[in-house]
Structure 1
Amino acid sequence: MLALSSPPVLAVTIHPDSEVASAAVARTIAELIRQRQAEGRPAVLGLATGSSPTRVYEELVRLHREEGLSFRNVVSFNLDEYYPMPPDSLQSYVRFMREYLFDHVDIQPENVHIPDGTLPQEQVAEFCRQYEARIQAVGGIDLQLLGIGRTGHIGFNEPGSGPQSRTRLITLDHITRTDAAADFYGEENVPRRALTMGVGTILEARRIVLLAWGEGKAAVIKRMVEGEPSDSVPATYLQQHPRVDVVLDEAAGAELTERKTPWLAGVPCHWPDEALVRKAVTWLARRLEKPILKLTDEDYNENGLSELLAESGRAYSINIRVFNQLQHTITGWPGGKPDADDTHRPERAAPFPKRVLIFSPHPDDDVISMGGTLLRLVEQGHEVHVAYQTSGNIAVFDDETLRFAEFVADYDAAFRLDEQPAENLYHRVADFLKNKAPGQVDSPEVQQIKGLIRRGEAKAACRYAGIPDDRAHFMDLPFYETGRVRKKPIGEEDIRLTMELLHQIRPQQIYAAGDLSDPHGTHRVCLAAIFEAVRRLKAAGTDWLPDCWVWLYRGAWQEWDIDQIEMAVPLSPDELTRKRRAIFKHQSQKDRPLFPGADQREFWQRSEARNRTTAKIYDQLGLAEYEGIEAFVRWVF
């Protein structure tokens, strides 16, 4: 855990990951509840929804079940709710709170308050007035839990919301609706309005705890902590509150000046740290748009790096050192070059060939994220396996499902292969999809067809890359198979299946998705399953594990920073084209994926742009020029 010195009113704490951070926040809430119990008073909590607080609620449930934490004296007020919204809808925050917290603890139903998304519009204003009055009647909120949106909204207080705003009906920003599209199976199904506590209401809480996880929140966290208070970023008004705790994981805090460029923030820097030196030098070169080898003493002195220069000597020696480090990350042999001096190569020469296991969270992440490297590993003779960790069945359009069901029925009718015609299946699927409500969970038959569609596409991409069918492994991890965007937490079965596959293949190289910006959380859970499986195998003294290296790639959302990259695999124009063709095998994701996230480009477009950008940065820093580069970071366990 690292505490940062921020503006006096914002206490920023960065934890190693969201699990540790969530547990710490849950303990803080539990301490408040117990303190109020000892005083014979209610503990009044303001509660948030969304992905950020889910682990906090899970830990509170654990504290209730295992350590006797009672919620009988808790009074809760939720921040917001979509409008209109039936309470039993999959997307309802009433349902969210029941599933994650209220149904698992002993809170009194009469003490639970959530904005009512079912009210006629003419009653909304009076309800909002009464909501404020109820908060005041119990003495105000003791602790308000918050998340933060990419627009800087807290609750549903979108840009334009001032510090005097109260509980009200508000129109949602386009970005907010885009971010919510996955939960509603399409942006067109997202309500355009919501009920929310106002910024002024939030600021009246005695204590505020704001949570943010992942790289996707890093930019807005920087604006909230370091920017001037402004209606354009409502979260900046938290700077005016006397007691705000900003609780982050490493990724969410990455853009804060004290983390990204500590030499500009007056933070003492430990310059013998080679990683910090590399970060500083690449930052300086990019800031000045100069190749590393052209940086001068004056460049260092005039840009906050005089201490580095004083401790390390002339600019020339620093430049050479960092340039060589970057040069040594580049390799056209991601599996290691046989019979070569590997002293300065990112991968070992031996053993060769290697058994390689590529974990792909969804059925297309392998080719989207590292398709060029995958093709090269196969061509260079390695035994390449791909493990598709989830079915990806929620990311298929309904009309695509109907088309495949119709094909099966027509094929069956033409060749009369079955005593019970597949036409029956087609009619069942067609009837279900015709009557399917927005956001409704697919029937088991529809889920199965969608999973088979994605499985077939993954097999086609593997064949194109030269991977035999028996080296494509479909894990269908249970945490994913809910039929909903919201998944289960990682479970023992997910870890067991991962351990079994690792034992089966005994890889000497593992590739896994380290893309924590994945907006749906699937990558995070899949990576957690791999990490836990490897840790358990290590603890058990597994004989093949010491010879295995783990490389992390990024997905469609973000690339590694240049100073983090430990292996850079260059791609020629032909290799980039072949990678694109492998991505095209995933036809259900072509033209318009069901869940595109904030970036509306197709996945192949994002992938190529990212690869070309990485190559361009290497070129600008004075290294060799390539068409594209795929980047990796090693995880040492």
Structure 2
Amino acid sequence: MKTKTSLAYNIPGKFEETRFEKNHNVIFKSAVEASKVVAQEIAVLIKSKQVENKFCILGLATGSSPIKVYEELVRMHKEDGLSFHNVVTFNLDEYYPMTKENRQSYHYFMHQHLFNHVDIKPENINIPDGTVVLEELNQYCMNYETKIKNAGGIDFQLLGIGRTGHVGFNEPGSHINSGTRIITLDHITRVDASSDFNGIDNVPKRAITMGVSTILRSKRIVLMAWGQNKATVIKRTIQGEITSEVPATFLQNHSNATFVLDQFAASELTRFETPWLVGQCIWTQELKSKAIIWLCKETKQSILKLTDRDYNNNGMSDLLAQEGSAYDLNINMFNVLQHTITGWPGGKPNTDDSHRPERANPSKKRVILFSPHPDDDVISMGGTFSKLIKQGHDVHVVYQTSGNIAVTDDEALKFAEVCRDFIGKENSEINFSSVINFLNNKTENQVDSLEVRKLKGLIRRRESYAATRYIGLKDEKTHFLDLPFYETGQIKKNPVGLDDIAIVKDIIAKIKPHQVFAAGDLADPHGTHEVCLNSIFEAMKQLKSESYMNDCWLWLYRGAWHEWDIHEIDMAVPLSPDEVTIKRHAILYHQSQKDRVMFQGNDSREFWVRAEERNKNTAKLYDDLGLAEYEAIEAFKRYDY
């Protein structure tokens, strides 16, 4: 491991070298905390160059990863007097072809998030030009390289990482000696960008990018990665062999590069995923559960068939010595998992609940099912939703956002034309002729008008009513919050505000629930789930002193992208074949989200397919571990707020 010179990351407990890791990396609890530390290092560098009366040459990145860094730099400029008068910037890349005015251009991104808010000189800003004619592009790229060299090279290079392992737009196959050039984008990269462009057909197929060698010549490199979606590529980059198939692995050759990660992006590193393979562990119940389930998968055996040899041969001899025998470990783990399974998600009345995930009393509970979008309820827990109603609980579903951004223009146009033809004249709240005219003449990157957004929101609202009626919920138990943070008309949303939290508080205070179900799926590619969850956390925190909150339990479900790992599950609700069918039909009532889904993330399957396969896979995992065999299982984790 090469010695790193930066002092910004000498934080106790944040970094621990292991024999598996080939890059210096620092793990933070949250992306916000990490971004502030990165911004602070940049600020220190800028100020030190000012003292020396020198320019500070920054290499900058775009995408979601650096946004919080730029926000903190802007704050330091406005509140702490940080000046950018001596800063020269070179951006990594730009789509090709792409005009500067296009909202999806990196020129637009950088000005929106940083340059428009600080005192950097316009002539010191360098961003690849996506309008250069193709015949002149090679010379333009060579000139870009020369300009970096003449500036003295990049002092600090900020990087993100794509799922393909790209840095900049250096896709798999990029050579270590590559310079600034035009490149064809990998299909996965275009899929990941498709929601920003309202469909993959609108994503440019090429881009201009700094080369790998250009990046590696930087004096200091910081690569940032946030979220579960980046965990797999981070493990390959930090622990894998250097290969052009994962261009980020070339950073292993750099003498002063640091990976700055949140705990989700770091979750698949060996020291977190299987720490017993790294060294001695403190064997908490959670870690024991994780290790034993991993051992079952590794040996392809059920829990009760594991032997002393299995434990000893797989780095778990200290656990075996601590517990005494494989038999004791196995039976205890089997019982832990067995006690998570229940067909009574609201608690089973008149029974001993000491080994059940939910309380028996009160036998009839008031339940809030929070759904970030108007379909997460049925996608993520449609079977449990149905059971709660059938078992007599007072269930309320609360849709936190309108979900209007996820309705395609074609879908909205279809509804607008039907409404216009049916009404015959404009006597409604929405002028449908105006909506049709807007959609037929909508220009690239134009934000939807208020009427269009209202129509799209109504489409999703009526789909939600259809789905909840099918499950058996009365209309008066269905609530739509339309939280303000979401209503920007754009993919980029506002931060959660006081108004959002107040609205969530009001619905909780009105219902006074015994159970709250909320989306804990932070892999949502556009962050709406995380913002919605944070609004619930804050609202429940503010309400904690209320007496009814003493009896309120919070259960987290996961959405369309990931499921809880088996060792994380506190409540597993089995579904019969008929209940799986009911859930599927409820999802299909959300017709605007079928076939041409705009925000699928990195999974091209329809939502009902991925949800059904996920639930069946969870049931199979329980079966493989030696538990009862079920058709499907929905999983939940209890959260102590």
| TM-score in same-fold range (> 0.5) | yes
Distance 1:312 1:138, change over 3 A: same
Query: Does residue 374 of structure 2 align to residue 376 of structure 1?
Result: no
- Structure 2 equivalent of residue 295 of structure 1: 306
Which stretch of the first structure deviates more once superposed, 463-472 or 190-199? 463-472
Q: How does 1:157-168 map to 2 (within 5 A)?
A: 157-168=170-181
- Structure 2 equivalent of residue 488 of structure 1: 494
Query: Does residue 71 of structure 2 align to residue 58 of structure 1?
Result: yes
Does the CA-based 8 Å contact 1:183-1:439 persist in structure 2?
Answer: no
- Structure 2 equivalent of residue 3 of structure 1: 15
Does the CA-based 8 Å contact 1:409-1:422 persist in structure 2?
Answer: no
- Structure 2 equivalent of residue 449 of structure 1: 455
Query: Does residue 393 of structure 2 align to residue 387 of structure 1?
Result: no
- Structure 1 equivalent of residue 169 of structure 2: 156
CA distance in 1, matches of 2:528, 2:150: 42
Shift in Å, 1:445:
1.6
- Structure 2 equivalent of residue 612 of structure 1: 616
Query: Does residue 574 of structure 2 align to residue 576 of structure 1?
Result: no
Does the CA-based 8 Å contact 1:14-1:248 persist in structure 2?
Answer: yes
TM-score, length-scaled by structure 1: 0.96
Q: Can you give the 5+ residue segments of structure 1 that lack an aligned partner in the other structure?
A: none
Distance 1:504 1:42, change over 3 A: farther
Shift in Å, 1:384:
1.0
Distance 1:423 1:307, change over 3 A: closer
- Structure 2 equivalent of residue 69 of structure 1: 82
CA RMSD of aligned residues (A): 1.6
Distance 1:217 1:334, change over 3 A: same
CA deviation profile, 1:326-368 (whole Å, cap 9, x unmatched): 1111111111112221111111222231111111111100100
Q: How does 1:53-452 map to 2 (within 5 A)?
A: 53-265=66-278, 267-271=279-283, 273-413=284-424, 420=426, 425-452=431-458
Does the CA-based 8 Å contact 1:210-1:247 persist in structure 2?
Answer: yes
Aligned length: 628
Shift in Å, 1:422:
6.4
CA distance in 2, matches of 1:233, 1:621: 35
- Structure 1 equivalent of residue 513 of structure 2: 507
- Structure 2 equivalent of residue 565 of structure 1: 569
- Structure 1 equivalent of residue 482 of structure 2: 476
SS in 2 for 1:139: coil
SS in 2 for 1:3: coil
CA distance in 1, matches of 2:364, 2:44: 56
CA distance in 2, matches of 1:452, 1:371: 22
Shift in Å, 1:479:
1.8
- Structure 1 equivalent of residue 7 of structure 2: none
CA deviation profile, 1:355-387 (whole Å, cap 9, x unmatched): 111111111001000111111111111111111
Does the CA-based 8 Å contact 1:213-1:252 persist in structure 2?
Answer: yes
Pick aligned residue for 1:594 from 587, 591, 598: 598
The amino acid that maps onto 2:282 is H
CA distance in 2, matches of 1:591, 1:181: 15
Which stretch of the first structure deviates more once superposed, 37-46 or 596-605? 37-46
Shift in Å, 1:530:
1.5
CA distance in 2, matches of 1:423, 1:216: 41
Query: Does residue 538 of structure 2 align to residue 532 of structure 1?
Result: yes
Does the CA-based 8 Å contact 1:576-1:628 persist in structure 2?
Answer: yes
SS in 2 for 1:263: helix
Shift in Å, 1:222:
0.5
Does the CA-based 8 Å contact 1:355-1:383 persist in structure 2?
Answer: yes
CA distance in 1, matches of 2:59, 2:547: 51
The amino acid that maps onto 2:17 is S
CA distance in 1, matches of 2:244, 2:57: 28
CA distance in 1, matches of 2:258, 2:83: 24
Does the CA-based 8 Å contact 1:405-1:425 persist in structure 2?
Answer: no
CA distance in 1, matches of 2:172, 2:212: 11
Shift in Å, 1:9:
5.7
- Structure 1 equivalent of residue 467 of structure 2: 461
- Structure 1 equivalent of residue 9 of structure 2: none
CA distance in 2, matches of 1:598, 1:4: 31
The amino acid that maps onto 2:151 is V
Does the CA-based 8 Å contact 1:9-1:242 persist in structure 2?
Answer: no
Query: Does residue 637 of structure 2 align to residue 633 of structure 1?
Result: yes
CA distance in 2, matches of 1:8, 1:298: 28
CA distance in 2, matches of 1:633, 1:352: 21
Identical positions, percent: 59
Does the CA-based 8 Å contact 1:409-1:423 persist in structure 2?
Answer: no
CA deviation profile, 1:119-175 (whole Å, cap 9, x unmatched): 111222222112112212222111111111110001100001111111111110111
CA distance in 2, matches of 1:250, 1:53: 17
Pick aligned residue for 2:523 from 511, 517, 520: 517
Shift in Å, 1:423:
12
The amino acid that maps onto 1:177 is R
- Structure 1 equivalent of residue 5 of structure 2: none
SS in 1 for 2:431: helix
CA distance in 2, matches of 1:546, 1:424: 45
The amino acid that maps onto 1:286 is K
TM-score, length-scaled by structure 2: 0.95
Shift in Å, 1:421:
5.3
CA distance in 2, matches of 1:394, 1:472: 21
Shift in Å, 1:424:
9.3
CA distance in 1, matches of 2:367, 2:320: 42
Distance 1:423 1:269, change over 3 A: closer
Which stretch of the first structure deviates more once superposed, 194-203 or 608-617? 194-203
CA distance in 1, matches of 2:60, 2:438: 36
Which stretch of the first structure deviates more once superposed, 149-158 or 591-600? 591-600
